Structure 1
């Protein structure tokens, strides 16, 4: 994959699944003054690697569609992106609410539950849920009901987990048959090892795993999800700036270039 533009990024790593304690100057409202005498506003982004091609680690470096897209969007605003912090997916919203980061870029679905706690930019990607199985296995489900009495996996805090819990647990599978993972790399590895029979995951991520591992998408469960960048509820200025930046990168062709780069679309 292209390394273009990566050298300019600063990446803040995590330890033990939580954000590293690093001093990040100017988390919303930095002290760097522009030529017009106004303070530039620096923001820190949070993400959750293990969700290719949206965010992942390659050679220890954080890369992916969300990484490139957010950086391109921020360049169209009056904000400056100071760096990235890495979390487990279900720790991102608490990190945002507690001011540890200023924006979430992690393939996060906009839904009512999350919207009660945080706000979102305009949507930047649409997806459904894929049911992934082993390529060399004999399990061939064609609907959610076919998952009955099988061990199923999903990532904690994701739409995939919500669908499993609402549609399967208690009706088609027992609570003990559901396996929750910190990230989808671990879930797919457990699928390959035969510890679960299927993993519920966003379609573009499932396609990436299917292209690189001995797994395949057996069927797609339509959910009509839309991904957005998450911001704090009181941060109307950043919410507006990100939405306007998204509009700009769509109009100037950057969005199309990035989707082609990461999804081949």
Structure 2
């Protein structure tokens, strides 16, 4: 759902992840409710629950790794981990440099949030760097103001650097709800991307097959929809 990483140079990695004793799952840890670091210092959120269940169903031993968003694809390619599970939308541009599983979160809306309902979304709009939202803002006629983290994009609206932020609606909704009226949705929602999928190296075809089978089984028995509702609420799009 969120993110359009700019093209990066492919780095050859020898060996397939499936042959390893441990499959490493790389996430950002800064994009609630998809993924975040809890008070105990552990990775938590929707993708932690999904990833753990996928690994159990695929009979894989998995460990979690955090990585900053703007280098998450290069570090997959260089072998620092084997799977990206970080709210990454499936896009044609990304599919040219990595492979994707089937989606584990359906295509959903992106939205604008501002301090006032009459904010000019053709003005300065903040978005997280290398996301599909940043790409959309850049082509919309607005002035794009990019930040490394999602929290910084919200702060830019609050401190007046940007008139609005553009991001996944599912990320923005709890922030708006908890703002006590300070923040509000403005403008029209926009559908971007093909849903959220696991990112893999193109050579890891056996691992991809195992992960796809696990995701499909979670769709078939309703457990994936249950996790979506648990973390995002009953109004969020489901399979």
Map 1:74-223 → 2, pairs under 5 A: 74-81=55-62, 83-125=63-105, 126-134=107-115, 137=116, 140-141=118-119, 146-148=120-122, 150-168=123-141, 172-173=142-143, 178-213=144-179, 214-218=182-186, 219-223=188-192
- Return the offset for 1:264: 1.3
Q: Secondary structure at the match of 1:122?
A: strand
Q: Secondary structure at the match of 2:22?
A: strand
Deviates most, 208-217 or 109-118 = 208-217
The correspondence for 1:230, drawn from 195, 199, 221, is 199
Gap change, CA 1:225 and 1:167, over 3 Å in 2: farther
Query: CA-atom RMSD, angstroms?
Result: 1.9
Q: Distance in 1 between matches of 2:97 and 2:160?
A: 37
**Contact 2:35–2:86, Cα closer than 8 Å, also in 1:** yes
Q: What does the per-residue CA deviation read over 1:2-48, in whole Å, with 9 as the maximum and x for residues that have no partner?
A: xxxxxxxxxxxxxxxxxxxxxxxx96534xxxxxxxxxx42001111
Q: Distance in 2 between matches of 1:123 and 1:133?
A: 30
**Contact 1:128–1:224, Cα closer than 8 Å, also in 2:** no
Q: Distance in 1 between matches of 2:174 and 2:200?
A: 27
Structure 2 unmatched ranges of 5 or more: 1-15, 235-239
Q: What does the per-residue CA deviation read over 1:58-99, in whole Å, with 9 as the maximum and x for residues that have no partner?
A: 213321111111111111113211x21112212110011001
Q: Distance in 1 between matches of 2:17 and 2:206?
A: 14
Q: Distance in 2 between matches of 1:78 and 1:67?
A: 16
**Contact 1:128–1:225, Cα closer than 8 Å, also in 2:** no
- Return the offset for 1:114: 0.5
- Return the offset for 1:222: 2.5
User: Is 1:251 equivalent to 2:220 in the alignment?
Assistant: yes
Q: Which has the larger radius of gyration?
A: 1
Using the size of structure 1 for normalisation, the TM-score is: 0.75
Gap change, CA 1:151 and 1:55, over 3 Å in 2: same
Structure with the larger RCO, 1 or 2 (CA within 8 Å, 6+ apart): 2
Q: Distance in 2 between matches of 1:192 and 1:200?
A: 14
Q: Distance in 2 between matches of 1:69 and 1:243?
A: 13
